[in-house]
Structure 1
Amino acid sequence: MAPSSRSSLESVSTPHWVAIALALVTAVIHLILGVDFLPHWMGVAFLVATVGFALGIALVLLDYRRRLVYLLGIPFTAGQVILWYAANQPAGLGDLTVAGVVDKVAQLLLIVVLVVLYRRE
């Protein structure tokens, strides 16, 4: 983190806040699912994902190596989408849950915003 005369939060732009909101949505969904699935290993996996998204949010807010956070966040988030698809293999709309749709839409949008942020910095 380079020294700066402005605070970390002053450097948070609108795209940062959009990414933070999207990451928060998916983190909360993973937290709820994680607690519901415990003590099954899937519960632990959901909670690990929660920590990953929360850590990303914290690092962005602290202005700590943001470009690296974006770069790592893209495959981390894409991996969530791929793992969800592999685990659920939805054949149609009837196989989708509201939480699943909200989560995947938030994650796909998060990937887009992370790419934009990465390319801007």
Structure 2
Amino acid sequence: MSTASDTTLRTESLTTLHWVGAVLAVITGVLHLVLGVSFISEPLGWSFLAAGVGFLGGVAALLVDYRRRLLYLLGIPFTAGQIVAWYVVNAPDFSTLGYVDKLVQVLLIVVLVVLYRQAAA
């Protein structure tokens, strides 16, 4: 495990499942950043930016092996919270892009649960 000041990539221990999770997090992170920038003048735009930074920051922490088990554990409610917030803000007018993003996030939660369980074993 890396220390907070060590930014060396430590990808040798990453499995295919780690990479799948990273790709899913990048997809939803970039989507949130794009949406945040598109309506940055509104308070909701800033929440999208924060979510995007959170997802991409999680990927960065994964790549430098910074507290991966904790990362998986915190990533589950963080991602689930995005799903709940999306529903509350958008109901009943859901977009196809929103559905795709939520599918990505549900898959990310599944990956995080599996990774956490493997790390705990």
- The match for 1:108 is 106
Alpha-carbon shift at residue 96 of structure 1 (Å): 2.8
- Please report the TM-score for the alignment, with normalisation by the length of structure 2: 0.89
Cα distance between partner residues in 1 of 2:15 and 2:65 = 11
The SS at the match of 1:34 is helix
| 1:69-95: CA deviation from partner (whole Å, max 9, x where unpaired) | 0000000000000000011112xxxx3
Alpha-carbon shift at residue 98 of structure 1 (Å): 2.4
Which ranges of structure 1 fall in alignment gaps of 5 or more residues?
none
After superposing on structure 2, the runs of 4+ consecutive aligned residues of structure 1 that deviate more than 3 Å are none
Of 105, 111, 115, 1:117 maps to 115
Alpha-carbon shift at residue 53 of structure 1 (Å): 0.2
Tell me whether 1:68 sits opposite 2:70 in the alignment: yes
Cα distance between partner residues in 2 of 1:58 and 1:98 = 28
Change (3 A) 1:2 1:21: closer
The Cα RMSD (Å) is: 1.5
Q: Which structure features the higher share of helix residues?
A: 1
Cα distance between partner residues in 1 of 2:99 and 2:51 = 17
Tell me whether 1:31 sits opposite 2:29 in the alignment: no
Alpha-carbon shift at residue 101 of structure 1 (Å): 1.3
Alpha-carbon shift at residue 38 of structure 1 (Å): 1.0
Alpha-carbon shift at residue 99 of structure 1 (Å): 1.5
- Give matches, 1:5-16, under 5 Å: 8-16=10-18
| Residues 2 and 64, structure 2, Cα contact 8 Å, conserved in 1 | no
The SS at the match of 1:10 is coil
- The match for 2:50 is 48
Q: State the percentage of identical aligned residues.
A: 57
